[in-house]
Structure 1
Amino acid sequence: MTEAPEPTGPNGRAHTRYTPGTPCWVSLMARDMAATQTFYAELFGWELEPGPRRPGPYVRALLDGHEVAGIGQLPPDRHLPAAWTPYLASDDVDLTAETVRLCCGTIGVGPLDADDSGRLAIGSDPSGAVFGVRQAAEHLGTRVAGVPGAPVWNELVTFETERVVKFYETLFGYEGKAAGPDGFDYVTLHLDGRPVAGVHGVGRALLRDRGPHWLTYFQATDVDGALERLTALGGRVLTPARDSAHGRVATVTDPEGARFALVQEPR
């Protein structure tokens, strides 16, 4: 079990241990590794170093020497979209993968050992949203939270929350709590009384070309300034910056179309 800190919400403080079910890592699968590394290094100030070597070419992103995310190479023979994927912590990836199957989800990769970084599987929930499960080695995990360039929240964007929330509650023992005003289909997933992820049902507003998906939020000092850098680097703004209860937020893509969000703490 890694001792890396875990974020508790869009502006959450770090904790000292990954409880099973807590988002513990985010990983981007991209086509052009060199161009993608340049984009995120310029946008977030990441330093990038190789490893692990399996299951394919991979680099880890660091902020001040602390690991925050990973970037892997999409297999050239597979026509998959570039996408960010959150990994949920597990004490037993094989058992979690079997539970995914029993709960009408699917496992597309693994379980397998990823070099010296732990054991992992990649699957999808009953709505088709892709997520990872990781039984991490001691040294691997997102080791910093609440600083610019670090992931601070993960949110499942789907058609409706009820069915898919039951899947994740069964899988990891989350307690789902409705959040927001009447008519706003949003559920926060809690572990040990802490919010660790969100599920947002958007109905027909869900993009047909993307379908249900997990969205990772990265901390930004100045969202508007970050959007200027992003577009100059070839990224695209999907949802313009707006003020929310958790701060200023925008949804964007990188040059290959991988979606993510930027969030700035309220002032």
Structure 2
Amino acid sequence: MAHDLGAAQQFYGAVLGWEFGPARLGDGFSVGFSDGVPVAGLGALPPTLRIPVAWTPYFAVDDADVTAARILERSGTVAVGPLSFGTGRAALAADRDGAVFGIWQGDAIPDWGMGGEAAPAWLELRTRNAFDAAIFYGEVLEWACSHAGCCEVAYVEEDDRILLRHAGRTVAHLHGGKLAEAPDPHLRPRWHVQFRVSDLDTAVKAATGLGGSTLSVPDSDPPPREITLRDPDGALFGIVGPAGPAPFRP
């Protein structure tokens, strides 16, 4: 959700190489396409609603009302909904530590399969206790269930994190550890989205050239590498991808 939809489209189009099309949810919404595949939605915040701009993950559920009830039963918060929204039903919620997320029942975009391999590289939950969070989300969203299409949950001991896999692909990481109580959203429990780019250095240059900023130094591991960025409105997101060729130095 952005204050200026046009400016957000210009920024993410330049940084991530997306093109944009209508979302059938009204003039205040658009869909970002990567090579013709829908990967994310952008919405315009009402001018009178002065809340922080942010990326929010929405998890698909079979019944938004049932899922909302599970959230409340486990001491989470349902801030908005569930309510009918375009082609589905949605709610905006927060887990016990305050990390914000959404749930969505129905088709996000009619006639399109949202996500797949072109979707965000992965989601990260940065929280105080990854095990508690895994139990909360596992019960709320039915992770590791016996139904077809459910996700597999795995613990990685050396990194003290929990991985969520779907169809053999890692789709989310849950990181534990102490986080400061400061108001900076980068330090509070939150969901963090990572997007794929074809050239990390080019994407960073485009972001900073359009008023964005970097919050972390690209890691030194072999490709793919990752870095955290802040867009001009303050929304945090990550990019992951190979670096461009090293500049020639005589």
The TM-score bracket by the shorter chain reads 0.7 to 0.9
Which residues in structure 2 correspond to 1:201-240 (within 5 Å)?
201-204=176-179, 208-210=183-185, 211-240=188-217
Aligned to 1:160: 129
Q: Does 1:171 align with 2:171?
A: no
What is the Cα-based RMSD across aligned positions, in Å? 2.5
Aligned to 1:38: 10
Contact 1:247/1:263 (CA < 8 Å) preserved in 2?
yes
Superposed displacement of residue 260, structure 1: 0.7
Q: Does 1:118 align with 2:88?
A: yes
Q: Structure 1 residues 245, 136: closer, same or farther in 2, change over 3 A?
A: farther
Aligned to 1:263: 240
Aligned to 2:247: none
Query: Over alpha carbons, which structure has the higher Rg?
Result: 2
Contact 1:119/1:134 (CA < 8 Å) preserved in 2?
yes
What is the SS of the residue equivalent to 2:206? helix
Q: Structure 1 residues 166, 244: closer, same or farther in 2, change over 3 A?
A: farther
Percent sequence identity is 37
Equivalent residue letter for 1:130: V
Matched residues, number: 232
What is the SS of the residue equivalent to 1:30? coil
Q: Does 1:52 align with 2:24?
A: yes
Contact 1:158/1:206 (CA < 8 Å) preserved in 2?
no
Q: Distance in 2 between matches of 1:99 and 1:140?
A: 29
Aligned to 1:249: 226
Greater strand fraction, Structure 1 or Structure 2: 1
Aligned to 1:151: 120
Q: Structure 1 residues 134, 228: closer, same or farther in 2, change over 3 A?
A: same
Please give the TM-score of this superposition, normalised by the length of structure 1.
0.78
What is the SS of the residue equivalent to 1:96? helix
What is the SS of the residue equivalent to 1:257? coil
Superposed displacement of residue 139, structure 1: 2.8
Q: Distance in 1 between matches of 2:138 and 2:59?
A: 13
What is the SS of the residue equivalent to 2:171? strand
Q: Distance in 2 between matches of 1:92 and 1:41?
A: 33
Q: Structure 1 residues 51, 95: closer, same or farther in 2, change over 3 A?
A: same
Q: Structure 1 residues 232, 82: closer, same or farther in 2, change over 3 A?
A: same
Q: Does 1:198 align with 2:173?
A: yes
Q: Structure 1 residues 244, 61: closer, same or farther in 2, change over 3 A?
A: same
Q: Structure 1 residues 140, 121: closer, same or farther in 2, change over 3 A?
A: farther
Q: Deviations over 1:3-45 (max 9, x none)?
A: xxxxxxxxxxxxxxxxxxxxxxxxxx11111111111111122
Aligned to 1:105: 76
Superposed displacement of residue 60, structure 1: 1.1
Contact 1:67/1:144 (CA < 8 Å) preserved in 2?
no
What is the SS of the residue equivalent to 2:55? strand
Structure with the bigger RCO (C-alpha within 8 Å, sep 6+) is 1
Contact 1:82/1:258 (CA < 8 Å) preserved in 2?
yes
| Structure 2 runs not aligned, ≥5 long | 145-152, 245-250
Q: Structure 1 residues 104, 59: closer, same or farther in 2, change over 3 A?
A: same
Q: Structure 1 residues 206, 266: closer, same or farther in 2, change over 3 A?
A: farther
Q: Distance in 1 between matches of 2:93 and 2:184?
A: 19
